């Protein structure tokens, strides 16, 4: 989830229109033009090899963005990249470990050479350790903070200069409901890290608004993943989790991706510093 592997595959020009979009246009002949929500934009997504990150990459590509996919597992990054390309989108992988400043420096230098711009950064990579504070080894605490906080900090630090040069950009940080409230099923280390992301987001939003750079965070509740499905094999645990959600279901990766798409798009042009829950109403209590 931390980084990715450099790809030697040819990339689609940032302004090229995807085959999927052309098929959509052919199926809708009465529409004179098809304006995709992220057309001609370049987006870097960390933790893009699976789950939420992969869904964001696919959703962005379907709306015209060239997506740069990062994941610590090179095979995972390449599989998502190949899937995006099969759908007619533009994608490539970028060598990146989000905890390494040297990797961020190299990654942004590569983007500057290859794409010449960065319009969107999605800081999605994250980890957790399911250990209570009383038993948490400090090396595990530091590992969570390195990915969830330092990784986001470094991403913003190195993306800002290129965004400023291009006249603006959008940063979307994937936090959690645990960045807004305490949660009885979640350990304190993860909550600490996601709370840091929430306030980092607001600080960047305020300080760089004058550069036309927006920064927002998304706060999902429990997301329906294979790991959660394993947890839900226990009927009591499943009932507990669903009972706390007013809408009565878990979030999906697509729910989160749709929120990220909105915040990254020009439709959210007057929205910055927002902490957007995608939680089925859980934090509305």
Question: Which CATH number fits the domain that encloses residue 207?
Answer: 3.40.50.720
The number of beta carbons lying within 10 Å of the beta carbon of residue 77 is 32
The pLDDT tens digits for 39-97 are 999 999 999 999 999 999 999 999 999 999 999 888 999 999 999 999 999 999 988 99
- Of the pLDDT bands very low, low, confident and very high (cuts 50, 70, 90), residue 212 is very high
Question: In this structure, is residue 90 part of a structural domain?
Answer: yes
Q: What is the pLDDT of residue 74?
A: 86
Annotation marks residue 185 as catalytic:
no
Q: How many domains does the chain have?
A: 1
- In angstroms, rounded to a whole number, what is the distance separating the alpha carbons of residues 76 and 79? 5
- Report yes or no on 246 lying in a domain: no
Average pLDDT over residues 132-152: 98
Specify if 241 maps to a domain: no
Domain membership of residue 185 (yes or no) is yes
Confidence of residue 35 (pLDDT cuts 50, 70, 90): confident
Q: What percent of the chain has pLDDT over 90?
A: 79
Q: Which helix (H) or strand (E) holds 142?
A: helix 138-145
Which residues on adjacent β-strands are paired with residue 194? Answer: none
| pLDDT of 193 | 98
pLDDT at 19: 52
Which run of H or of E encompasses 218? strand 213-220
Predicted local distance difference test score (pLDDT) of residue 88: 96
Confirm whether 234 is domain-assigned: no
According to DSSP, the residues that pair with 172 across neighbouring strands are 122, 216
DSSP letter at 251 equals: B
Strand pairing of 90-93 and 96-97? unpaired
pLDDT at 230: 84
Tell me: pLDDT of 228 over 90: no
- Mean model confidence pLDDT for the chain: 90
Location of structure tokens 């507990």? 240
Tell whether 218 is covered by a domain: yes
Report if residue 239 sits inside a domain: no
Instruction: Indicate whether 183 pLDDT > 80.
Output: yes
Res 6 pLDDT > 60:
no
Residue 199 in any domain: the answer is: yes
Other beta carbons less than 10 A from residue 14's beta carbon: 18
For residues 94 and 144, is the Cβ–Cβ distance under 8 A? no
Max distance between CA atoms of the chain, in angstroms, equals 63
Q: Could you give the residue ranges of the DSSP H alpha helices within 92-246?
A: 101-114, 138-145, 151-165, 188-208, 226-231, 235-243
Predicted TM-score (pTM) of the model is 0.87
Catalytic hit among 185, 190, 208, 285: 190
Best CA proximity match to 265, nearest among 120, 158, 165, 164:
120
Return the number of other C-beta atoms located less than 10 Å from residue 203's C-beta.
13
Q: Mean pLDDT across the stretch 144-173? A: 98
Range of the domain at 151: 3-223+254-284
pLDDT tens digits, 232-253? 899 998 899 999 999 999 999 9
- Structural contact between residues 115 and 42, judged by C-beta atoms closer than 8 angstroms: yes
Using the predicted structure, report yes or no on whether residue 146 has a pLDDT greater than 60.
yes
């Amino acid at each position: 989830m931390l980084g990715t592997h450099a790809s030697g595959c040819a990339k689609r020009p940032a302004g090229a229109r995807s085959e999927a979009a052309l098929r959509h246009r052919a199926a809708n002949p009465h529409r004179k033009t098809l304006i995709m929500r992220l057309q001609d934009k370049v987006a870097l997504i960390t933790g893009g090899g699976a789950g939420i990150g992969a869904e964001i990459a696919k959703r962005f590509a379907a709306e015209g963005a060239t997506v740069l996919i990062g994941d610590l597992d090179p095979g995972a990054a390449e599989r998502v990249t190949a899937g995006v390309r099969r759908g007619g989108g533009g994608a490539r992988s970028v060598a990146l470990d989000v905890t390494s400043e040297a990797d961020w420096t190299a990654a942004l230098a590569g983007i500057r050479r290859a794409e010449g711009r960065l319009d969107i950064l999605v800081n999605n990579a994250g980890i957790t350790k399911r250990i209570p504070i009383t038993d948490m080894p400090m090396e595990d605490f530091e590992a969570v903070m390195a990915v969830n906080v330092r990784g986001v900090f470094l991403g913003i630090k190195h993306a800002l200069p290129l965004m400023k040069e291009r006249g603006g950009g959008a940063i979307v940080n994937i936090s959690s409901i645990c960045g807004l409230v305490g949660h009885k099923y979640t350990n304190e280390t993860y909550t600490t890290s996601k709370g840091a992301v929430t306030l980092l987001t607001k600080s960047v939003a305020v300080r760089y608004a004058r550069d036309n750079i927006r920064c927002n965070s998304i706060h999902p509740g429990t997301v329906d993943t294979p790991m959660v499905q394993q947890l839900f094999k226990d009927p009591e645990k499943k009932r507990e989790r669903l009972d706390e959600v007013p809408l009565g279901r878990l979030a999906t990766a697509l729910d989160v991706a749709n929120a990220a798409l909105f915040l990254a798009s020009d439709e959210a042009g007057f929205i910055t510093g927002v902490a957007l829950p995608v939680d089925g109403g859980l934090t509305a209590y």
